[in-house]
Structure 1
Amino acid sequence: MIFTTKAEYGVRLLVELGRHGAEQGEAAGAGAVLSLKAIAAAEGLPLAYLERIVALLKKADLVESTRGAHGGYRLKRDPATISMDEVIVALEGAVAPMTCFVDDTDSPRVLCSHESDSGHGCATKLLWMRVQGGVMEKLSQTTLAELVAFATRETAPVRGAAHTGAPLTIAAG
């Protein structure tokens, strides 16, 4: 499963808004306004593409805009209440590990386009349901606040690895 640059850039945009809010001393990290031009410059992202992405985030009630000379965007909610499953679905739509896998969002059923081909159940449907469920579970367990905190660390230890405080180096070879 490969997410598009919409997901990557959208998450980076949200992290930058959360980081800016924290730098401005906002208790929830949600009140500071930042222009898309500043985000594009800070993250090295194309401004025109960010404009399309921020429209999706605004439609999902994750960000709000302020007009005027000092206008821009800010998080609409506390970063601790924004989960990544909500963000990814807003940006990408349904998360599907295979092109034949269709998440029927109106019901808890998962549809497989191959079931109608042979008249019986798809041999791999269980696997893809588990993959999709695992990805969505991990996304729902990750908040924007965690990503902001992770991004602001000077040296981030590898999760699950013993860390001595020294920077992590990986030797080739």
Structure 2
Amino acid sequence: MKLSTKGRYGVKAMFELALNFGEGPIALNSIAEKQNLSVHYLEQLFASLRKAGLVKSIRGAQGGYILSRKPEDITVGDIIRTLEGPLAPAECVIDDDSKECYKADYCVTRTIWEKIRDSINNVVDNITLQDMLDDYKKMNNTETYMYYI
């Protein structure tokens, strides 16, 4: 399973907002510059993040985006699922998938895919933006954080 740029860039952008939490709105062009991302692409991502209630947009000359909740209340799972959809290694184990596989009752590999899904969800649901900030503060070379996210 591999995340697309949506999920990876979304986590980077949300981390940037977390770094500036409580200091007012951050313009997308500032996030794009600091994370070396396309402003146009960030606009698409932030439309989804805003719709999901993870960020708020502030209009005006000093406008931009802010987190809608504290960094400790937003998980990496919240961000990734908003931008990527459900996290599952196979179609047959997507939680909200309405169509059930006709082989589910006797498919030996389904159990494996469920365990992988549950493990991935457990990890991303237990890492918050605050955890990322704490890890960032522990890093020795604070100038290169954008290259490691």
TM-score by length of 2: 0.85
Distance in 1 between the 2:6 and 2:80 partners? Answer: 9
Q: How many residues align?
A: 141
Distance in 2 between the 1:38 and 1:152 partners? Answer: 21
| Structure with the larger RCO, 1 or 2 (CA within 8 Å, 6+ apart) | 2
Q: Where does structure 1 lack aligned partners over 5 or more consecutive residues?
A: 157-173
What are the residue-to-residue correspondences of 1:8-157 with 2, within 5 Å?
Answer: 8-21=8-21, 26=22, 32-98=24-90, 100-105=91-96, 111-112=100-101, 115=103, 121-155=106-140
Deviation string, structure 1 residues 93-135 (Cα, Å, up to 9, x no partner): 111212x43414278xx944x628xxx5222000000000000
Partners of 2:18 and 2:71 within 8 A in 1: yes
Secondary structure of the structure 2 residue equivalent to 1:86: helix
Task: State the superposition RMSD in angstroms.
Answer: 2.2
Identity of aligned residues (%): 34
**AA matched with 2:123:** K
**AA matched with 2:108:** A
Partners of 1:103 and 1:111 within 8 A in 2: no
Distance in 1 between the 2:12 and 2:136 partners? Answer: 10
User: Whose helix proportion is higher, 1 or 2?
Assistant: 2
Counterpart residue number, 2:145: none
Distance in 1 between the 2:20 and 2:69 partners? Answer: 14
Deviation at 1:65, TM superposition (A): 0.3
Counterpart residue number, 2:146: none
Larger radius of gyration: 1
Distance in 1 between the 2:123 and 2:40 partners? Answer: 30
